[in-house]
Amino acid sequence: MSDPQQTSLRLGIAGLGTVGAGVIKIVRQKANVLAQRSGRKVEIVAVSARNRDKDRGVSLSAYAWEDDPVALATRDDVDVFVELMGGSDGPAKAATEAALKAGKDVVTANKAMLAHHGQELAELAEANGAVLRFEAAVAGGIPIIKSLTEGLAGNDIERIMGVMNGTCNYILTRMEDAGLSYEEAFAEADGLGYLEADPNLDVGGIDAGHKLSLLSSIAFGTQVNFDGVELEGIGCVTIEDITQAADMGYRIKLLGVTRLTGRGLEQTMTPCLVPATSPLGQLQGGTNMVVVEGDQVGQVVLRGAGAGEGPTASAVMGDVMDIARGLRMSTFGQPATSLVAAKPAKATVAAPYYLRMSLEDKPGAMAKVAAALGEAGVSIDRMRQYSHEDATAPVLIVTHKTTRAALDDALGALPETGVVSGAPVALRIEEV
């Protein structure tokens, strides 16, 4: 554990990719400002990465080198272990555990590791008098962790929702702005280097789901439960959905929503429609946004860069500065042993839904669909049918507020009508 009375706070950085290089640049370029703002000097003493000889655009000659991140994490001259390697297990987890067992503070940007092992790591930190901080793991440069644990600590959080994956937002934005298909926008994002090595982490909602599970823990005092997040990626969204949703005043976003109800903890990361005029609807490109609703403060909107060297390194340094100032805080805002294992719950709050389906060109087809919806308790608010040249007609329906359970019953009955071609697309409309 670092001692605030030391003349300097000594960092060991494992992982020298984009973010690691960004942290080095900040420590070097802003040394005087950091010292003035924290009351002590912040310096890097040692680093570790897979490839020692790679050109990272920053000189490493002033720092000791460790091939093994565990050795770096346990060096006597390292006060804070900065973990920027990534990966839910493997070297990142081993080195983090080693640092915490040695009583050293840890700052990490590793959302996957915390989403899968956050509870045990938080307990390990507290058992050894260490601090585990992770502002950079959620929404890049947006200080959402600090906002929840400090600025909004006097609130009961009622709901959190947000766009937490810039790659998905970029793809959906490009589909609308340039009229690109999903495949075309995906290829463009890949060409720009926006996608993870495993693209499904982005477009499948997994990356954003990791982040949502961490926010849920802080907001509601629950143990991190990534397995309880309902995930659906953006691969089902077509250019027709984009344009037709726009016709009806909406935009489609990969939206995370979490709330704690009497039935349990709801966590969803799925494509949703939001009003085009809302803050979330106006969010463009790779930007992230998190909306927090508290019982005292009402709605708070935080918007900023969700990734990249500068924004993520900025978040890392925010945590480092808190440690330099002597701020000691539990990982998820309260003692880890007090976090409850919340029961996962399906979203039960009623909401309107957007439905897209192809109807056979037969007399009475729409009446059969309306009857199937009605029998399941789903009523139609608005409906639009588009002109067509083949045997099926594209039809859009916006329902009145209904539960997902009722909607699923209706969707299950639609094939039995004999007039619906293919599987309908159903997207929740989130009121913001």
CA 408 to chain centre: 26
CA atoms 52, 57, 61, 64: torsion sign: negative
Q: Determine the 3-state secondary structure of 194 from DSSP.
A: coil
Q: Within a 10 A sphere around the Cβ of 65, how many other Cβ atoms?
A: 12
Cβ proximity of 105 and 325 under 8 Å? no
How many Cα neighbours within 13 Å face the side chain of 336? Answer: 21
HEC profile for 36-78?
A: HHHCCEEEEEEEECCCCCCCCCCCCCCCEECCCHHHHHCCCCC
Phi, psi of 105 (to 5 degrees): -70, 150
Q: What is the dihedral of CA 27, 30, 33, 34, to 10 degrees?
A: -10
Cα dist. 242→187, 195, 233, 422 in Å?
A: 18, 21, 15, 19
DSSP state string for 345-393: ----S-B-EEEEEEEES-TTHHHHHHHHHHHTT--EEEEEE---SSSEE
> Among this protein's residues, is 101 annotated catalytic?
no
Q: Distance between CA 216 and CA 210 in Å, rounded? A: 10
* CA count, 13 A, side-chain hemisphere, 354: 24
Q: Which residues pair with 385 in a beta bridge?
A: 395
Give the residue among 421, 342, 407, 334 at the shortest CA–CA distance from 375: 407
**Token match 């020692």: residue?**
52
Using CA atoms, how far residue 212 sits from 90, 115, 348, in Å, is: 23, 9, 18
- Find the catalytic residue in 93, 111, 211, 253: 211
Catalytic site positions: 211
